[in-house]
Amino acid sequence: MMFDINHHEVVDAVNRALYEDVGSGDVTTDACVPADLKAEGRFTARQTMIVAGPELLYLLFDDVTLQRHSGDPASDGDVIATVRGLARNLLTRERVALNLLQRMSGIATLARRYMDAVAGTRTVILDTRKTTPGLRRLEKMAAAAGGVENHRMGLFDAVLIKNNHIALAGGIRSAVTRAMASEYPVELEVRTREEIDEALNLGVKRLLLDNMTPEVARDEIRHIAGRAKVELSGGITLDTIRAYAEAGPDYISVGAVTHSAAAVDINLRIEPRP
């Protein structure tokens, strides 16, 4: 999933960001800058990064030229995009544009670091639902720009049975039997060998092994022996993800890609133009 600027959730997020910042008007810009002055702005990287979200500038400015697109690398000094128009419009939308680009590119940059950490293994890195409320689609687009594969978008597009579901459903067998009657793919969280065997006997084809050490995960993956796809999760960091990937899972899900990504440094320089 790359940046689909026509998706209603994307348009809504940008509009909400504008309303939050601009409200009834930019009183500083309107007081200081002539209404008919034209200007040009350049978004410039101030560090090495993976760019995400410059396509959003088309929703904010009338005249946009992209020098980088989502998923492209950029180094300190590289121009990411150029925007032109009335100076007041560029100034008023400056902070919203930077907030979005810096946040999205920060996620993409961290996602790429996780991808690089497992290079050469068979493991696919997944994002999670640990996103900023109201910005999930944007943040998952940014994660995809960094090379991570999107897990389920929400509670509505796949079944993932976790411990609380099992407890409230009356056990693994009851939860799985009910879930398999639905139209959705079923994944089950397991923590012990006994739970793994019960799930396999019930025909579950995707297992989430949670909070295991790399050594324990390796043993359980060998025991599963291809009878189900295996996802690992739970406290996996950049320092440990290589060891987990070498244990042989199909997937590793990492919430930190979205919930712990730092914004990158992008500058917007605006100058008058004829």
Catalytic positions, written as ranges:
95, 130, 162, 189, 210
| 195: Cβ contacts below 8 Å, ≥ 6 apart | 172
What is the DSSP secondary structure assignment for residue 55, as one 8-state letter? G
Q: Closest by alpha carbon to 1, among 150, 114, 109?
A: 150
Q: Tell me the C-alpha distance between 61 and 116, whole Å.
A: 34
Contact 146, 71 (CB under 8 A): yes
CA dihedral sign, ordered 211, 207, 260, 79: positive
CB atoms within 10 A of CB 255: 18
Alpha helices in the chain (DSSP H): 8-22, 27-32, 87-92, 94-117, 136-145, 163-169, 172-180, 193-201, 214-224, 241-245, 256-259
Bridge-based pairing of strands 38-45 and 266-272 is: antiparallel
**Residue 53, phi then psi, degrees to nearest 5:** 95, 5
